[in-house]
A = this chain, B = another copy of it.
């Protein structure tokens, strides 16, 4: 049950290549679980930008001096995030959330490996906390283009049993991709379950590695979204259902978290010929 809240920015601060925004948005924290996301209005009342921008929820505080707050982390990508980066504390920010299906937690205290790419680490940190609370072993793999894009490294080190780092440019940790180090981490930690959030190519690689080992894997995908609430059908990708049939499903309400092996990675961006309702050739 998401809420639309006319919020106010409590703080906005630089974190490496990102900015972290905390918004006073009473009601949202209580409903939020790791993996949920927010949809944020951008540009002000006379803006030419009509659509909300989606951001994974990083942190929430049920109550504070100002009421409940919700925090997200973003990097400047286009016009909307450029506008957001110019906001200051005290500015209004209309947010809708929590949205989407969050990560499902393991029933028991299993060994869990989390894989985050860039700002994709943000939703994994509250997940790590929840997993620790359940007594899970938590190993984290963080990857990014460069060290300024490694979000949450300190938090990860504080919470995890181990942290492995990769960067494309070698500025931190191992030069390379998370998929280069993941197999070793999975072996060492005896992982029972994998969670991942980051760029689509990374999610695919992680899903494949997990699938090859028969390890269940949840991924939080990122598809272009017009509404974020399930009414527009822009955010679909081909996913295999319980019945074995492929459907074009809405990543905003049926995701963003999917089982990695259910997503037809090869066919993302297409409608596979065997999808339900696909055009007949």
Contact = CB atoms under 8 A, between A and B. Distances in A.
Interface of A: 43-49, 79, 83
A59 to B, nearest CB: 28
Contact of A49 (B46, B79, B83): B46
A44 B48 CA distance: 10
A120 to B, nearest CB: 26
A19 B258 CA distance: 54
Residue among A45, A49, A79, A83 having the largest count of chain B Cβ atoms under 10 Å:
A45
For the complex of A and B, the 6 pairs showing the least CB-CB separation, nearest first, are A48-B48, A46-B79, A43-B46, A46-B48, A46-B49, A46-B47
A44 B42 CA distance: 13
Nearest to A79: B46
A155 to B, nearest CB: 33
Contacts of A49: 46
A141 to B, nearest CB: 37
A244 B113 CA distance: 88
A47 B46 CA distance: 6
A255 B43 CA distance: 36
Contacts of A43: 46
A79 B47 CA distance: 11
Contacts of A46: 43, 47-49, 79, 83
Nearest to A78: B46
A79 B48 CA distance: 13
A43 B45 CA distance: 10
Residue among A43, A46, A49, A79 having the largest count of chain B Cβ atoms under 10 Å:
A46
A73 to B, nearest CB: 22
Nearest to A50: B48
A38 to B, nearest CB: 20
Contacts of A48: 46-48
A241 to B, nearest CB: 40
Contacts of A79: 45-46
A47 B50 CA distance: 11
A220 to B, nearest CB: 28
A28 B200 CA distance: 52
12 contacts: A43-B46, A44-B44, A44-B83, A45-B79, A46-B47, A46-B48, A46-B49, A46-B79, A46-B83, A47-B47, A47-B48, A48-B48
A255 B169 CA distance: 62
